[in-house]
A and B are shown apart, each in its own frame.
Chain A
């Protein structure tokens, strides 16, 4: 409100109401999952937002079964490995794109970025077939490799936007002031690049962690099935039981860490996104 126009109480109230509606729409379902996960089997259907009887039974149930623990380990391992590799490969490619000039650059960038919007479904049947021939079907690498590939365009796009904004002359300046190339990189460039790398890593991790299409198409057993795929097979502790409580508990376990993580680092992430990437 730097220039002109007084903030009337009416206008302020209007903003507040719209903001509240949006937050409620965004947040109520999230909180509802948390609420369901603490309800007992009998009160599950009572429609109360605040559970009448609190219980940790749902959590105890999921951690008592391999149906959840195995997929959780798979999800963690596959997502972390895929994220690390995708970010490293993305950094290399983004460095070349942002810093170097070479013939064919435009075509290469185009080919790499086009994939971001590829209809993945067109590729799933042949991928399934290729992986089965190579013996990669239903293994960790069988998910890690497609995840890296489909995350790469996102990683390259975000990272090259960041790298373009880094004042690389500082590296030279540091060297002139007597820093070794290693020092110049780690003390000057790395801190400047860190928010971008961090933002990219989180976006890639969310993509791998939440993926459903590849997870159900390219896995068949607990050897590599990830949590999103396993959730759709959840049946509760016995076959005839309504699994809603346990599914909610599982959903909370896999969602809350990411939310806390992002809340904790959101200043950096939003600053990262607004400072370079996604700029039309």
Chain B
């Protein structure tokens, strides 16, 4: 085991631990537990993470500098930065980035606005009803996206679909360039809104009610309390939801796009995420897919860093 090297490594940690808990009344078992370095507990998790995420990530960098069609018998050819040049010169990339932005903006109402409204409104529902209500709203999250796609395809059917009958329209939602993206957003929103409601509810439950009570004593109306007390205290939760939406929206749309539109019609639902998958698994261009993966990852790091910084600055903390 590699772990042997860790055993004598952290004298600092042991000293800190001993300082917290006096060693005198401990049994043999708990002393052994105290002496076992914390790294041992973390080791299996960290090894898995390194092998199955950081190693493929490194391989993405290597692949991005090669030309290869993913067939084991053909050799990988080093091509320098050609993949990046090709990628940056295709108009597809810019369009797919823009579509990704549209998806993210379209998702925000479903992951932030609606959940906050619903959570605030149902806050006063008590007891069993509240639990049942939350479970009902949470239900779509439990439906496998592919199964959800099947039923939405039926609901959006141009001739027999319920959506057209209710709206009195005869739109071919999934096969029209203007509406396909909208349909994907609404279906993805349906899928994740319940989870966001749960997150906001958890955030609300963590707010000390004394603040609202104090504001009411001082004569604030309910609207004022919500606007000036509850929402600011909820801001860390809201920041978390925005971050999640920006980073994961494209990922959530993937199963729906793959089963409902395959990126079409005329590429109108091909966002960055789907474009990447097409490069790798449709055109079997491992180099191009990897180059796009590297750019995507770099962009993701920048966006995540900026958003986290912003969230830190804008959030009001309770303590």
Check: B124 CB closer than 8 A to any chain A CB: yes
Residue A81 at the chain B interface, CB threshold 8 Å: no
Determine if B276 is an interface residue (Cβ-Cβ < 8 Å). yes
Q: Is A239 an interface position by the 8 A CB rule? A: no
A54: Cβ under 8 A from any B Cβ:
no
Question: What is the bound-complex CA distance between A181 and B33, given in angstroms?
Answer: 11
B198 adjacent to A273 (CB under 8 Å): yes
Contacts of B154 in A (CB 8 A): 32, 36, 244
Contacts of B131 in A (CB 8 A): 266-267, 270
- Contact: A121 with B52, CB < 8 Å? no
Answer whether A33 and B122 are a contact pair too, CB < 8 Å, given A121-B276, A124-B277, A259-B139: no
B144 touches A209 (CB 8 A): yes
- Contact indicator B165/A5 (Cβ below 8 Å): no
Q: Identify which of B25, B161, B213, B251 gathers the most chain A CB atoms within 10 Å of its CB.
A: B251
The contact string, 1 if C-beta is below 8 Å from chain B, for chain A 127-151, is: 1111010000000000001101110
Interface stretch, picked from A56-64, A110-118, A190-198, is A110-118
Decide: A32 and B146 in contact? CB cutoff 8 A: no
Q: Does A122 belong to the interface (CB within 8 Å)? A: yes
Residues A278 and B203 in contact in the complex (CB < 8 Å), given A23-B133, A117-B248, A126-B56: yes
Q: Decide if A216 is an interface residue (CB 8 Å cutoff).
A: yes
Check: A238 CB closer than 8 A to any chain B CB. Answer: no
What's the tally of chain B residues with a CB closer than 8 Å to chain A?
A: 110
In the docked arrangement, what's the CA distance between A88 and B49, Å? 15
Q: Decide: A244 near B150, CB < 8 A? Known: A175-B27, A217-B281.
A: yes
Q: Are B151 and A36 in contact (CB under 8 A)?
A: yes
* B293 touching A228, Cβ below 8 Å: no
User: Are A279 and B203 neighbours in the complex by a CB distance under 8 Å?
Assistant: yes
Chain A positions within 8 Å of B143 at CB level: 29-30, 33, 210, 251, 255
Please, how many angstroms separate the alpha-carbon atoms of A238 and B64 in the complex?
Answer: 43
Q: CB within 8 Å of A: which of B209-225?
A: 212-213, 216, 222
How far apart sit A108 and B39, CA to CA, in the bound complex (Å)? 10
A13 contacts chain B at the CB level, 8 A cutoff? no
CB distance A29 to B202 under 8 Å?
no
Number of interface residues of A (CB under 8 A): 94
Q: Which residues of A contact B17 (CB under 8 A)?
A: 100-101
Q: Does B304 contact A (CB under 8 A)?
A: yes
Interface residue? B46 (CB, 8 A): yes
The interface bits of chain A over 65-95 (1 if a CB of B lies within 8 angstroms of the residue's CB, else 0) are 0000000000000000000000001101101
Compute how far the CA of A228 lies from the CA of B17 in the bound complex, rounded to whole angstroms. 47
Kindly state whether residue B297 has any CB partner on chain A within 8 Å.
yes
Q: Can you name the residue of chain B whose Cβ is closest to the Cβ of A127?
A: B56
Interchain CB contact under 8 A, A280 and B45: no
Cβ A181 vs Cβ B293 within 8 A: no
> B103 to nearest A CB, angstroms?
14
Enumerate chain A residues within 8 angstroms of B293, measured Cβ to Cβ. Answer: 119, 121-123, 125
On whether A119 and B273 interact (CB within 8 A), knowing A130-B56, A270-B198, the answer reads yes
B positions within 8 Å CB-CB of A: 10, 12-13, 16-17, 20, 25, 27, 29-30, 37-39, 41-42, 44-46, 48-49, 51-53, 55-57, 59-60, 63, 70, 72, 114, 117-118, 121-122, 124-125, 131, 133-148, 150-152, 154-155, 157, 159-162, 165, 190, 193-194, 198-199, 201-203, 205-206, 212-213, 216, 222, 235-237, 239-240, 243-244, 247-248, 250-251, 254-255, 258-259, 273, 276-277, 280-281, 286, 289-290, 293-294, 296-297, 300, 304, 315
Q: When A and B form their complex, which 5 residue pairs have the shortest distance between CB atoms, in order from nearest?
A: A280-B236, A251-B147, A122-B293, A96-B41, A212-B255
Known: A27-B136, A125-B60, A280-B240. 18 other contacts (CB 8 A): A26-B136, A29-B190, A119-B273, A122-B57, A123-B53, A123-B56, A125-B280, A125-B289, A129-B70, A148-B48, A156-B45, A181-B29, A206-B142, A247-B150, A255-B144, A270-B198, A278-B203, A279-B206
